[in-house]
Amino acid sequence: MASAAAFFDLDKTLMEGSSAIHFGRAAYRAGLMSRRQLASDAWANIQFRLKGSTDETTKALWNRILDSIAGKRVEDLARLGPQILSGVLPRLYPEMLAVAWGHQDAGRPVYIVTAASQELSELLAHVLVFDGGIGVRSEIRDGVYTGRPDGPFTYGKGKAEAIRQVAEREGFDLAESYAYSDSESDLPMLRTVGHPVVVNPDDALRRVAREEGWEIMLFDRLRRRLRIASLAGAAGLLAAGTGFAAARMTRPTGLRARLGLA
């Protein structure tokens, strides 16, 4: 039995952006979500990638997902798996997969711990050859989702609780275990283990990591590209403004200009 394990958040830790948007796209194509819902979740995904998550935005997104699956058959959502994976898999960070598999090679089981659904976490864990997935469970009756949760919300303190339950069941020593996440909301999860690592952290988590001396890993390409584009755009506007001002300063004016003497 392994004495320690490694726990990985999914969104912006194992992958770029949010897995929820890929669920939304697949659900929209299957007629399970409206265009307005999809657009709203797409904007929320952009904000998430730039600013990180908050309690309010994460819970609101999950509530929308619960509402959208209420009354749907489990097998219908399970059939969305290939489409969801087609969006998620290309956005996985190769660097993080190498880290996770390195833990396995060292004898530490690897788990995904996410506020995404239990079904998605298990599916992705299976495809990535991880040892398990821990996500939000939705109540099922007679093969149909009721739209109500069936267990703790694996977010914030809920993730830490889920990790402790797995550690107790499997006999892991959390003091020797590792946890990886991007958001300040996952501080309970990170503080549960002896080896916390922050990945693409939001500003609040970055400050904590620096104060605590935790390792910081950076792979989020979108934020870097947008910042570069923003700086380039600002530089372009500045250059255009300077050129316009210079043109005005050198343009002939008044009587001398009309006489061609300027």
Show which residues are catalytic: 9, 11
Contact 171, 1 (CB under 8 A): yes
Q: Cα–Cα distance between 180 and 96 in angstroms, integer?
A: 10
Taken as a whole, the chain contains a residue count of: 262
Residue pair 148/18 in contact (Cβ under 8 Å)? The answer is: no
SS3 content of the chain, % helix, strand, coil (to 5): 60, 15, 25
Distance CA 86, CA 178 (A): 28
What does the DSSP 8-state code read for residue 89? G
Q: How many other C-beta atoms are found inside a 10 Å radius of the C-beta of residue 105?
A: 8
79: Cβ–Cβ under 8 A, 6 or more apart, which residues? 30
Whole-angstrom Cα distance, residue 54 to residue 183?
Answer: 8
